[in-house]
Structure 1
Amino acid sequence: MTSPTAPAFNQPLGGNDMPRFGGPTTMMRLPAAATAAGLDACFVGIPMDIGASNRSGTRHGPRQIRAESVMLRPYNMATGAAPFEAMQVADIGDVAINTFDLKKSVDIITAHYDEVLSLNAIPLTLGGDHTLTWPILRAMAKKHGPVALIHIDAHADINDEMFGEKIAHGTPFRRAFEDGCLQNDKVFQIGLRGTGYSPDDFNWGRKNGWTVIQAEECWYKSLAPLMAQIREKIGDTPVYLTYDIDSLDPAFAPGTGTQEIGGLTIWQGLEIIRGCAGLNLVGCDLVEVSPPYDMGGTTALVGANLLYEMLCVLPAAVAHRLKNV
């Protein structure tokens, strides 16, 4: 609920007050804040692509997601969520990574999220390549203990190394596993697909107790029943949601670095996120938007909408919606 120390102004700048091509460049044209102090939730960018292995450009992802977020309005017409009536929310800017040193950057990210979490704000992260989720999970584990994980992606991202390096966007969940950040019986990977090097590309997680739902299992289906099962299995365990935009089929999200055909649809993506309502979400991210390959801005627009949907399923927003039904 709204913190008594938070600023009173807590609404996105409306399209009837300022044209959508004007105004602040924050997420949803929300107030900017220097820190997460007094906030219940915050948007934070990590402009990074030094962990990417194919097409670069995700360093520009946070800025473009913010640009496309000008179309968003405060009330969710589908779910009835009114997150800004339930929470104090602001955009706290970007993490100042070391763009020449990935190893230093992951420590910078963890330290930044240690501070956010110490202020009891729930971070919603605009990526940035998927490397960033590992240092965030390190901070989450320090705050909450090992967390449940819902990971939507075309790729498992459990490589032991890439080009001899242990830190890259294909390794974050192997590193999080090794660091004890995860409750392994409550890890769910959804949308994995494409070609690989061996069955272990997906089976490594299964061998460690994770639930892996490949994209082919999702074709032609509503994913609402799957999310009901996941909610039951996770219960009230603190859970982190990480959403790689390449989980969507390239028809919907071409602006990313490692496209794979046969992916999820946008409406399935919405079902997954809306299906997280009722879970004890402690953080979320949306990663791998690469504006140089997103000429029409569609991928960033999808990313902005999915981040808004994440805000709408945070516990305080859900409690407020249910109270006002």
Structure 2
Amino acid sequence: MAQENNPEWQSDLNRRGAAKLGTFMGVPEAKDLSKLDAKVAIIGAPCATPYPGLGHYCASGPKAIREGIASHAGNLMHMDFDLLGPIFPDGKVSVVDCGDLPYDAKDSAANRIAIRSGIRMVLEKGAVPIVVGGDDSVTIPVIEAFHDKGKLTVVQIDAHMDWREEVSGERWSGSSPMRRASEMPHVERIIQIGQRGVGSARLSDVEDACKWGTTIFPAREVFAKGVQPILDHVPAGSNVLFAFDCDGLDPSIMPAVISPAPGGLTLWQALEIVHGIAAKARIAAFSLVEFVAERDIGKQGALLAGRILVNVMGLSVRQAAQSCVNASNSWR
């Protein structure tokens, strides 16, 4: 963290601008999680439990998203109109990039352990993890890592329900994150947004989800009624873990997905959901998954994914700063 307030580093960052910096928007690197000292930690998770036969199809996602937003690295202290101020309003870069977790294309169980352990270390250091995937199954060990951190509200933005019990005998793949989340005692609420078209969900999966108590806002309903009904379902003061699948966005703006589905959310709908929830609840973690770099067009999808993460960064550091103020006031 010594770099964050270093004028020479900031000046050098501004000069480099569009250079490929290796970290997300050129924020300081912190690969040793045992020494993590930051409010927010970006951590890449290239692979967890990919579908049988597909391999690690999203493994290049974290690298591609870092490269897609690299051109904005010199603007960290500039006005960001999505956030109505600089990303870091106090002028201090309180976000670090922890690099990518190791993965084994043939050992999904080991991948899940690595992700769960990595997120645990981030949480123990008091930082908010922003996870960049990686296939959708990455979300499962991310949620598991919160097992003793209090109750969670999981907000999923996705074209699909992800309530399959198994696919080809695999219970931990990208078709099952919400089913697995529903089995975790610390998950008290699941809100699903953006579902549309035909996917892997059976009628029985929908019935199981509704029986458990999940609330579903299909994409068509979001377009018809706006985002306010979604915000109304998030309790004030709750801890929210976002599970953001890139295919929740419309493929016209996010082509870099494995299963494109027409009629997805716009960028502004997605940001209104994230900003609206952040205004009343705490961002406990944000997991962005299913970015298939090989299907991107002119790095536009990577830039879009990067901008969503920038918004999450900015909101998270603002929440952390407010928490510090509240904690300070409590001593008086």
> Which TM-score bucket, shorter chain as reference?
0.7 to 0.9
1:116 pairs with 2:122: yes
Superposed CA deviations along residues 134-184 of structure 1, whole A, max 9, x for unmatched, are: 101111122x1231111100011111001111111111221122232410x
Pick the aligned partner of 2:173 from 168, 179, 193.
168
Superposed CA deviations along residues 262-321 of structure 1, whole A, max 9, x for unmatched, are: 21112211211111223111111111110111131111111111111111222634856x
Q: Provide closer, same or farther for how the CA distance between residues 253 and 244 of structure 1 changes in structure 2, counting only shifts above 3 A.
A: same
Shift of 1:16: 7.7
Partner-residue secondary structure (3-state), 2:277: coil
Superposed CA deviations along residues 190-222 of structure 1, whole A, max 9, x for unmatched, are: 001111553334342221111101111022554
Contact 2:47 2:58 in 1 (8 A): yes
1:104 pairs with 2:103: no
Pick the aligned partner of 1:188 from 187, 191, 216.
191
5 Å matches for 1:67-82? 67-72=67-72, 73-74=75-76, 75-82=79-86
Shift of 1:33: 1.1
Partner-residue secondary structure (3-state), 2:241: strand
Match of 1:3 in 2: none
1:211 pairs with 2:215: yes
CA distance in 2, matches of 1:173, 1:14: 44
CA distance in 1, matches of 2:192, 2:11: 36
CA distance in 2, matches of 1:101, 1:56: 11
> Which deviates more, 269-278 or 120-129?
269-278
> Which deviates more, 88-97 or 311-320?
311-320
Match of 1:31 in 2: 28
Contact 1:131 1:169 in 2 (8 A): yes
> Which deviates more, 37-46 or 268-277?
268-277
TM-score, with length taken from structure 2: 0.85
Shift of 1:67: 0.3
Partner-residue secondary structure (3-state), 1:240: strand
Q: Provide closer, same or farther for how the CA distance between residues 117 and 30 of structure 1 changes in structure 2, counting only shifts above 3 A.
A: same
Pick the aligned partner of 1:157 from 144, 158, 162.
162
Match of 2:62 in 1: 62
Q: Provide closer, same or farther for how the CA distance between residues 318 and 201 of structure 1 changes in structure 2, counting only shifts above 3 A.
A: same
Structure 1 gap segments, 5+ residues each: 1-5
CA distance in 2, matches of 1:98, 1:26: 22
Partner-residue secondary structure (3-state), 2:179: helix
Structure 2 gap segments, 5+ residues each: 326-332
Contact 1:56 1:257 in 2 (8 A): no
Shift of 1:15: 9.4
Q: Provide closer, same or farther for how the CA distance between residues 319 and 200 of structure 1 changes in structure 2, counting only shifts above 3 A.
A: farther
Match of 2:2 in 1: 7
Partner-residue secondary structure (3-state), 2:63: helix
Letter in 2 for 1:198: R
5 Å matches for 1:233-252? 234-252=235-253
Letter in 2 for 1:39: A
Partner-residue secondary structure (3-state), 2:243: strand
Contact 2:104 2:110 in 1 (8 A): yes
Superposed CA deviations along residues 68-125 of structure 1, whole A, max 9, x for unmatched, are: 1123333421332444245621101111122211122111111111111111111101
1:141 pairs with 2:147: yes
Match of 1:268 in 2: 269
Match of 1:202 in 2: 206
CA distance in 2, matches of 1:84, 1:32: 17
CA distance in 2, matches of 1:8, 1:27: 15
Partner-residue secondary structure (3-state), 1:112: helix
CA distance in 2, matches of 1:294, 1:93: 22
Match of 1:229 in 2: 232
Partner-residue secondary structure (3-state), 1:253: coil
Q: Provide closer, same or farther for how the CA distance between residues 39 and 136 of structure 1 changes in structure 2, counting only shifts above 3 A.
A: same
Match of 1:88 in 2: 94
CA distance in 1, matches of 2:177, 2:243: 11
Letter in 2 for 1:65: I
Q: Provide closer, same or farther for how the CA distance between residues 30 and 16 of structure 1 changes in structure 2, counting only shifts above 3 A.
A: closer
Q: Provide closer, same or farther for how the CA distance between residues 133 and 16 of structure 1 changes in structure 2, counting only shifts above 3 A.
A: closer
Shift of 1:55: 8.8
